[in-house]
């Protein structure tokens, strides 16, 4: 297999289009969930963040190897954090680390046809981690049906909207998360 192809035989450019499309279209079809890490008593979070060191577990190679997609997602996450008063800390230890990963899977929809139709669903997962322990503090997940024929501008708006919906559920910056063990 050529090094320019993903595991599924698609080129990285095609993969980029598919992942970006995961967040394109109407807002109603973006499902967002969030949860606090196990054992976390949450009374707020500090105001500074930085990106987690190293590639997150499960990060698809075609995303990690695609600087344009990686930069776009990071830029949107940072912009939404800044809108909520969080500051990127480039020296020292921040109050929390962030990381993201994306994925896609096939789903069945039987509401359209009695036999069901298959479609591809994409997800964007945002993790917030304690920099001292690496423990998960908070996770946000946005999922949506992939639409392959939308223009790039619409795809980017969709990613931005999904990040925004996740950030509406993001904890406030007052106080700290504490282990509840």
What range defines the domain where residue 139 resides? 12-179
The residue with greater pLDDT, 118 or 20, is 118
The pLDDT value recorded for residue 177 is 52
Long-range contacts of 149-156 (CB under 8 A, 24+ apart): 150/21, 150/24, 150/25, 152/20, 154/24, 154/25, 155/17, 155/20, 155/21, 155/23, 155/24, 156/20, 156/72
The residue with greater pLDDT, 63 or 114, is 114
* Residue 155: inside a domain: yes
* Residue 6: inside a domain: no
**Segment holding 15, helix H or strand E:** helix 12-21
* Residue 5: inside a domain: no
How many whole angstroms separate alpha carbon 1 and alpha carbon 3? 7
Q: Where are the alpha helices (DSSP H) in 29-175?
A: 61-64, 67-83, 152-167
- Give the mean pLDDT of 114-140: 87
| Range of lowest pLDDT (19-28, 49-58, 111-120) | 19-28
- Give the mean pLDDT of 120-131: 88
* Residue 4: inside a domain: no
The pLDDT value recorded for residue 76 is 93
pLDDT bin (cut points 50, 70, 90) of residue 151 is confident
Provide the number of structural domains found in the chain: 1
The pLDDT value recorded for residue 34 is 73
The pLDDT value recorded for residue 55 is 54
pLDDT bin (cut points 50, 70, 90) of residue 121 is confident
* Residue 2: inside a domain: no
**Predicted confidence (pLDDT) per residue in 81-106, tens digit:** 998 889 999 899 999 999 988 887 88
> Which CATH number fits the domain that encloses residue 109?
3.30.160.670
Say yes or no to pLDDT of 163 above 80: yes
């Amino acid at each position: 297999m050529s090094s320019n192809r993903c595991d599924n035989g698609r080129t990285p450019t095609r993969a980029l289009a598919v992942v970006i499309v995961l967040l394109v279209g109407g807002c109603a079809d973006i499902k967002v969930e969030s949860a606090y890490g196990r054992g976390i008593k949450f009374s707020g979070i500090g105001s500074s963040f930085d990106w987690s060191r190293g590639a997150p577990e499960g990060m698809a190679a075609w995303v990690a190897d695609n600087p344009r997609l990686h930069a776009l997602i990071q830029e949107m996450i940072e912009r939404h954090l800044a809108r909520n008063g969080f500051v990127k800390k480039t020296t020292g230890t921040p109050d929390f680390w962030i990381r993201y990963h994306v994925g896609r899977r096939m789903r069945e929809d039987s509401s359209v046809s009695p036999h069901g139709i298959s479609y591809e669903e994409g997800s964007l997962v945002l993790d917030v981690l304690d920099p001292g322990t690496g423990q998960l503090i908070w996770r946000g997940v946005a999922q949506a049906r992939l639409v392959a024929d939308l223009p790039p501008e619409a795809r980017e708006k969709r990613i931005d909207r999904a990040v925004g919906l996740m950030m509406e559920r993001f904890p406030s910056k007052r106080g700290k998360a504490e282990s509840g063990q």
